[in-house]
Amino acid sequence: MSDQPDAARPDTLNDIGVLKRREIEARIVAPLLERFAEEFGSDRVYELAREVVVGVAQSQGAALAAHMGGNDLSYFSGSMDNWTKGGALEIEVVEHTDEVYAFNVNRCRYAEMYRDLGLAELGATLSCDRDGTMVQGFNPDIEFSRTQTIMGGADHCDFVYRTGDSETAVELS
């Protein structure tokens, strides 16, 4: 059994919005992980969960690029509706050029939802940790950086996506 979704079947779950999708996933995955951790040890179970999430995120990034019809930063920034749908994220774009797409997330309903479910620690694995690996699948030449997250206790998240040929330094505040 593969840890990757069947490429022959398109993933249409984002139609409901990624926030709702993550809530559904968390409500199913959290009890499974807790039970597996009881049986097999939490360190190994959560390590395996992170590996699976990374693989899924990379596959979803590649599928997104195919769906968007391109994989440069303009196509990537055009896909943000998937993550902001229904007010899931409130973002402030700091820089948007051909080489850099940088924004701050000032409100994250994903973090709020995981906290409300009592799953703040798992929320980073199921959502935040996907950001860098998803873009690797979308385009391995796009570099991702982020120094802080709301999920981790900061007042905002600072996202920077840049093409490998960009020398521009972006300062977020």
**In the 3-class helix/strand/coil scheme, how is 126-173 assigned residue by residue?**
HHHCHHHHHHHHHCCCEEEEECCCCCCCCCCEEEEEEECCCCCCCCCC
Task: Assess contact for 58 and 134: CB atoms under 8 A.
Answer: yes
* Dihedral pair phi/psi, residue 138, rounded to 5°: -65, -50
Angle, helices 130-138 vs 42-68, to 10°: value is: 40
Q: Give Cβ neighbours of residue 111 (< 8 Å, ≥ 6 apart).
A: 120, 123, 149, 150, 151
> Which among 156, 92, 136 is positioned nearest to 80, based on CA atoms?
92
Q: Of all helices (H) and strands (E), which one includes residue 90?
A: strand 89-96
What is the pTM for the complete model shown? 0.82
DSSP character at residue 69: T
Q: Which two tokens stand for residue 155?
A: 């007042």
pLDDT attached to residue 17: 82
Q: What is the mean pLDDT of residues 81-101?
A: 93
Domain coordinates in residue numbering, the chain:
13-163
- What are 95-130's pLDDT values in tens digits? 999 999 999 999 999 999 999 999 988 999 999 999
Task: Assess contact for 37 and 45: CB atoms under 8 A.
Answer: yes
Q: Of all helices (H) and strands (E), which one includes residue 89?
A: strand 89-96
- What are 1-31's pLDDT values in tens digits? 444 445 445 555 557 788 998 999 999 999 9
Residue 63 has pLDDT above 60, yes or no: yes
Q: What is the mean pLDDT of residues 162-170?
A: 61
Can you tell me the distance from the alpha carbon of 82 to that of 14, in angstroms, rounded to the nearest whole number? 7
For 13-163, CATH gives 3.30.1380
